[in-house]
Structure 1
């Protein structure tokens, strides 16, 4: 039987844009890809042997893209070419429907496609044109999917440190008779957040997690809240503080761990409740997305 090996896959926006993998204790750092155009969101399909990531490109140029590479860094290919998505951010691979989902910041939308990059769709559209684009409350960043519950979650970060960030939820597909811009099923779960970025869900426990890169004390944190609170009240629980502009988050629900990155260059490990937090890597450049996967030991 092939022995599985746990690996973390991390994106670095600095250094010319790089993708590397490490063991969960921070050892055996291996660069897989260089020359990425401001990489931001990452997802791993361990069974198929692929890593996917988004490239923001130049935000004002509408030239974002999505690429794929083998787990060992081979066979790099662009699956969503430059210009199909404006400024793609967090990336989520949903095993249930074999789709990629992502937030498109300056594109002001949440999008998805097949794993080969075909059938690109816009699921949520929060604005249109240059005037709307200047309104950062419309910028979609983080994304998560609850396939069994039929819900799509996303963050709209708002201006930097402005306390106008929101986390929203809707059905995965627009309701019949509604387009992406006129959906009637959008719920605002949280508003007035410092600057929410990436999202993750623990479906077994019904918990939504997110990073926030805004001002302390509520910003530069990892937070969580029940996806469906019994009393209907939603109050973020701050789990982890003192990040240096927190961005990426990856959960290991079975092992009881989470992994977090920040633009200050650290990768952190903590329990799902934020306990026993520690840095496993430091001074690694401007880190963005992170994903965890169990891969064949040969990788």
Structure 2
């Protein structure tokens, strides 16, 4: 009889940090929450955030949590804040009005830069980790009336510092099947502007309503959540860089039946991902979508 195969190593424990935008209460009680990956040891870090928190990123090196505040979309009063992992020492690093409606936020570890998408601002932006040197890298339009056109709304974002590329989603109308994902270089070509960049490329289109992005640069795979209607919407999807080399790729649907999919995070070491929806649930699965678990 052959000996039993060795047990697969258990995934690292770590912690999850996530947001509750707070729209289920009249006073907009936004929160920052944390738990172990199995859902245990759940507790609130910060409550009573009435500025509609949306994107979150954790700097494990310096022990900080960063998050975006959408604010009131018509007021152009978005901001970015930071606190310790304990939820203490809250500071505003990008003050109100420096960004319109900031959405997904990520940390580029090599350059130590923050990148985010600005929805009604119709922009892709970045800044230093202390909030200084705020830059607009891409702008879909400079016309104020175009802020109402959801095809211009930048929502998700991720960065590949190895290939020097930024990826972002423009979600399009709700359930409209006009969502797109774009790619461009990290640095603007000399002589060009955020409104006129020749390196902007649409890599996936006709999506129901793409939201947050994540990137596995090791396997060369781009992941995203989609809020649109089934069969392609309310899903977690992926494409590989190999697929993108032959033109616009067809999404590989990994997980279905979400209730308006939004946030997404990869645990590459543990071969798993975590994702949430507007129904208020948090889920996990393997990176290929198997072992899908409602958290």
The question of a shared fold, defined as TM-score above 0.5 by the shorter chain, is answered with yes
Structure 1 range deviating more: 30-39 or 44-53: 30-39
Paired position in structure 2 for 1:32: 45
Instruction: Say which structure, 1 or 2, has more relative contact order (CA 8 Å, 6+ apart).
Output: 1
Distance 1:87 1:11 in 2: 16
Number of residue-to-residue matches in the alignment: 277
Structure 2: which 5+ residue stretches go unaligned? 1-11
1:1-299 equivalent positions in 2, closer than 5 A:
6-14=14-22, 16-36=29-49, 37-229=51-243, 232-233=246-247, 234-280=249-295
Paired position in structure 1 for 2:3: none
Two-structure CA RMSD over aligned residues (Å): 1.1
State the Cα deviation string for residues 76-98 of structure 1 (Å, max 9, x = none). Answer: 11100111000000001010100
Give the direction of change, closer, same or farther, for the CA distance of 1:199–1:230 in structure 2 (3 Å limit).
closer
Shift of 1:256: 0.5
CA contact (8 A) 2:15 2:34 kept: yes
Shift of 1:5: 5.2
Shift of 1:229: 2.4
State the Cα deviation string for residues 222-244 of structure 1 (Å, max 9, x = none). Answer: 00000242761511000001100
Shift of 1:44: 0.4
State the Cα deviation string for residues 33-75 of structure 1 (Å, max 9, x = none). Answer: 1222111100000110100000000111100000000001110
Distance 1:223 1:230 in 2: 14
Query: What is the TM-score when the length of structure 1 is the normalising length?
Result: 0.91
Distance 1:73 1:5 in 2: 20
> Radius of gyration: which is bigger?
2
Structure 1: which 5+ residue stretches go unaligned? 281-299
Runs of 4+ in 1 over 4 A off after TM superposition: none
